[in-house]
Amino acid sequence: MSDAQGKPEQPASGMVFDAPPGNWVDRWAPLATRPYLRLSRADRPIGTWLLYIPCLWGIALAANDGSGLRPWDLWLALSCGIGALLMRGAGCTWNDITDRDIDAQVARTRSRPLPSGQVSTRQALVWMVAQAVISALILLSYNGIAIALGVAALLPVVIYPFAKRFTWWPQVFLGIAFNWGALLAWAAHAGHLPWGAILLYLGGISWTLYYDTIYAHQDKEDDALIGVKSTARLFGDQSRRWLLGFQALTLLLFTAAVALTIGPARGLWPMGLALVGIWAFGLHMVWQMRGLDLDDPAACLRAFRANRDAGLIPVPFLAIAALL
């Protein structure tokens, strides 16, 4: 909807249209902070979970290489959670700065703080830098290789918002950025990156292609009108086949990561328990597809959000396997 001057309307409260109703930002956050929290997607925590979960995978699977879980890993898990919250916020703020003109043309996004005028571009830049600086302070508590990986992570974060302008596969760039925590957390625990870590990371990218293709189906009509590229538009009527393929690839890569990391050296029980968690994760993705209507934005959003629960399933299995 637009007003007489063609400017996008927004809810009177400043709420974002696709935020969960009754979220904590709209209910309890001080009024002055709400536009900034909305820039960081604090009213929609699913993205923070999807950024944080690969970190938990990295810590738990790295501990299965024989090193075991250590007291230091409690700090890793806590600090990665805080870092995921801050870096997701900084990344979303950067995304909204670069996409503010596009967002103003899409029904689902035109109520966001920048296109709706709740904050200025300069204010958004300051907020982005503040979140990144605090994240950097946390990163400095890690070892050298993890710090280097944290700095390198800025490149895909910067590139991602522009990917939909030059490739039909922007979800790959999102996957590269969103699963970087698996590498970083593994390196922070172990001090190196074996092939198991690489396979885990690649599996995470495949998982992101799965869930973010579903997410992109919400905007496919608006994206077609304004020329924004996505895997949802690329796959079209063949999307379900592609989604099943991403599920299979994710499960294959995760299974290989577990087998390579744990292997016969630690015995079949730890590896079997870890694989139960991985395969239960795969079954959850299959279950999501049963009620998925890719032409129903609400159904797409439900399936997308369900991936928080799916991604958390392997964590306790990997953690317990590391203790055996």
DSSP letters for 44-67: -THHHHHHHHHHHHHHHHHGGGTT
Average pLDDT over residues 178-182: 97
Domain boundaries, the chain: 33-323
Model confidence at 9: pLDDT above 70: no
For residue 316, pLDDT beyond 90: yes
Distances (CA, A) of 103 to 43, 71, 127, 246: 18, 44, 19, 28
Mean pLDDT, the chain, whole residue set: 91
On the question of pLDDT at 212 being above 50, the answer is: yes
* Number of C-beta neighbours around residue 68 at 10 A: 11
Compute the average pLDDT of residues 70-97. Answer: 94
What's the mean pLDDT in 299-316? Answer: 97
3-state SS, residue 16: coil
Q: How confident is the model at residue 4 (pLDDT cuts 50, 70, 90)?
A: very low
- The proportion of the chain whose per-residue pLDDT surpasses 70, expressed as a percent, equals 96
d(CA 241, CA 231) in angstroms, rounded, equals 12
152 pLDDT more than 90: yes
Task: Report how far residue 65's alpha carbon sits from residue 263's, in angstroms, rounded to the nearest whole number.
Answer: 9
| Measured distance CA(112)–CA(294) in Å, rounded | 24
The pairs formed by 192-199 with CB atoms below 8 angstroms and a separation of 24 or more are 192/145, 193/145, 194/65, 194/260, 194/261, 195/260, 196/61, 196/65, 196/257, 196/258, 196/260, 196/261, 197/58, 197/61, 197/62, 197/257, 199/253, 199/254, 199/256, 199/257, 199/260
Identify the band that residue 15 occupies on the pLDDT scale cut at 50, 70 and 90. confident
Average pLDDT (155-175) is: 93
* Cα atoms in the 13 Å half-sphere on the side-chain side of 141: 14
User: The tokens of 37 are what?
Assistant: 């929290």
| Cα–Cα distances in angstroms (integers) from residue 162 to residues 13, 71, 106, 116, 155, in the given order | 30, 40, 16, 21, 12
DSSP H or E segment with residue 26: helix 24-28
Element counts in the chain: helices (H) and strands (E): 18, 0
- Measured distance CA(119)–CA(10) in Å, rounded: 13
Find all residues with CB under 8 Å of 236, minimum gap 6, and list them: none
The proportion of the chain whose per-residue pLDDT surpasses 90, expressed as a percent, equals 74
Task: With CA atoms as reference, report the closest residue to 289 among 254, 243, 251.
Answer: 243
Which residue type is seen at 21?
A: P
pLDDT band at 13 (very low <50, low <70, confident <90, very high): low
Per CATH, the homologous superfamily of domain 33-323 is UbiA prenyltransferase (1.10.357.140)
Q: What global pTM score does this model have?
A: 0.90
pLDDT-derived band of residue 266, with 50, 70 and 90 as boundaries?
confident
Query: Is it the case that residue 207 has pLDDT exceeding 90?
Result: yes
Residue, of 19 and 248, whose pLDDT is higher? 248
Which residue has tokens 């760039």? 173
Give the separation between CA 124 and CA 13, rounded to whole angstroms: 19
